[in-house]
Amino acid sequence: MMDTDKELELRARLEALVQEHRDLDAAIEALMAQSGADLLQVQRLKKRKLKLKDEISLLQDMMVPDIIA
């Protein structure tokens, strides 16, 4: 089982990443809604969003105990 302090730290980090992912999603939508949107900036934001998704998945995997079936 995971140490309580470590688990709380992981949960806090996970929540922060999920919030940043949502914020990026909103920023991308807002940029895309503008006429003459900066496509390079949109592309960078999407790339950052994908990195966050990978990091979120990694943290979620760390929090789920290995169960041998």
| Sites in the chain below the pLDDT cut of 50 | 1
pLDDT of the residue at 24? 97
Q: What pLDDT shows up at residue 2? A: 60
User: Which letter does DSSP use for residue 64 in this model?
Assistant: S
Q: What is the pTM of this model?
A: 0.81
> For 24-32, which contacts have Cβ atoms below 8 Å and span 24 or more sequence positions?
24/48, 24/49, 24/52, 25/49
Give the per-residue pLDDT at 45. Answer: 96
